[in-house]
Amino acid sequence: MQIMILGASRSSIFLMKRLIEKGHTCVLVDPKAQEIEQQYSLGVLTINGIIIDIDILKEADIGSMDIVCAMSDSENQNLMASEIARDIFGVKSVITRVFASQDYHLFDDAGFLSISSTVLTADAFMRAIDGKVKKEDYTGQCMSNIFGNSIAFTILDIEDSFVGAKIRDVEDTEGRHIFGIVRHDTFVTTLPSMKLEKGDKLILAEKKV
């Protein structure tokens, strides 16, 4: 399939790698799309530009896409880009990334399929809680089934050497995706510029075969 990814977030980079592995063709639109593609060797087509710029999206041939995924780190831009994709360019399948907003269901009411990382993580925690995970065992691993894929969520304490580091500069040696962090017993959706604090726990996601 032809799939356009709007926004070069950590989640979208992780997704593009998976899509390419499955033989799909991906187009990335982001102000730093070419730079991101080269940095991560994604093997995707790139268009540098803002994801809500109609001229940029037209240049990227968004109307020919089978699926458009709005996955930037801005919930508002994701909604705007999704509306443009559907209403102006006639894309029938639009998937929108949302965050901790209590009103994320409005995305669905607008006709988009919304994926909430906050809800997915909460579900994973609930399964762990129902499995009698104690607070002293807060670091560990739990499994979740997402769209038929088994995803392992691992929660790790950060080392002191990582305190003050930005999320964009943190890489997991096993290639897992940084899904979020636990800070003061609360799930926090990560942004690339966010700095880690003492006591934070990393939530890592990995697809299991």
- CATH number, domain at 91? 3.40.50.720
Residue pair 155/202 in contact (Cβ under 8 Å)? The answer is: yes
Rounded to whole angstroms, the Cα distance separating 204 from 201 reads 10
Do residues 7 and 93 both lie within one domain?
A: yes
Q: What is the CATH number of the domain that holds 186?
A: 3.30.70.1450
Could you tell me how many helices (H) and strands (E) the chain has, helices first?
Answer: 6, 11
Rounded to whole angstroms, the Cα distance separating 155 from 178 reads 10
pLDDT-above-70 percentage for the chain: 74
Helix 33-40 crosses helix 10-21 at what angle (to 10 degrees)? 60
| Domain ranges, residue 48 | 2-98
What count of residues does the chain have?
209
The answer to the question of residue 204 being in a domain is: yes
Residue linked to tokens 């962090």: 181
| pLDDT for the residue 173 | 64
Alpha helix positions (H), 22-91: 33-40, 54-59, 75-83
The per-residue pLDDT for range 139-166, each reduced to its tens digit, is: 455 555 555 567 777 888 887 888 888 8
Do residues 142 and 72 both lie within one domain?
A: no
Of 65, 98, 131, which residue is a domain's last? 98
pTM above 0.75, yes or no: no
**Position 159: which residue type?**
E
| pLDDT for the residue 138 | 43
Do residues 168 and 203 both lie within one domain?
A: yes
Do residues 75 and 12 both lie within one domain?
A: yes
Q: How many domains does the chain have?
A: 2
